[in-house]
Amino acid sequence: MYVSYCPELDIASCGEDVQQAKKNLYEAILINFKETREMGTFQEFLNECGIELSNGDTLYARKELVCFTPIEIAVP
């Protein structure tokens, strides 16, 4: 099982291979956007994530990714 994660939105998903994990993450993001728009909380969600909506449909993150390093942890 592979886990996919979007740190900017704090949304995660998974899949049986890398491609499926990416596809499922994309779908999870779209579902989250759709649901928050329907509930009227989309702008609040973006604000909590530190993201600005510009030009009507372009998202800008106010975060800077400094480093991403995979880690391995032995399970006892």
Does residue 18 fall inside a structural domain? yes
The β-bridge partners of 58 are 54
pLDDT at 41: 96
The answer as to whether 47 is a domain residue is: yes
Counting the structural domains of the chain, the total is 1
How many Å apart are CA 46 and CA 61, to the nearest integer? 9
Position 66 in a domain = no
pTM: 0.74
The two three-digit tokens of residue 33, written as one number: 């956007």
pLDDT of residue 38: 97
13-56 residue pLDDT tens: 999 999 999 999 999 999 999 999 999 999 999 989 888 877 76
Determine, yes or no, domain membership for 30. yes
Q: Is residue 26 part of a domain?
A: yes
| Amino acid residing at 76 | P
Specify the pLDDT at position 16. Answer: 94
Domain that holds residue 26: 2-61
Higher pLDDT, 57 or 14: 14
The answer, yes or no, to whether residue 66 has pLDDT greater than 80, is: no
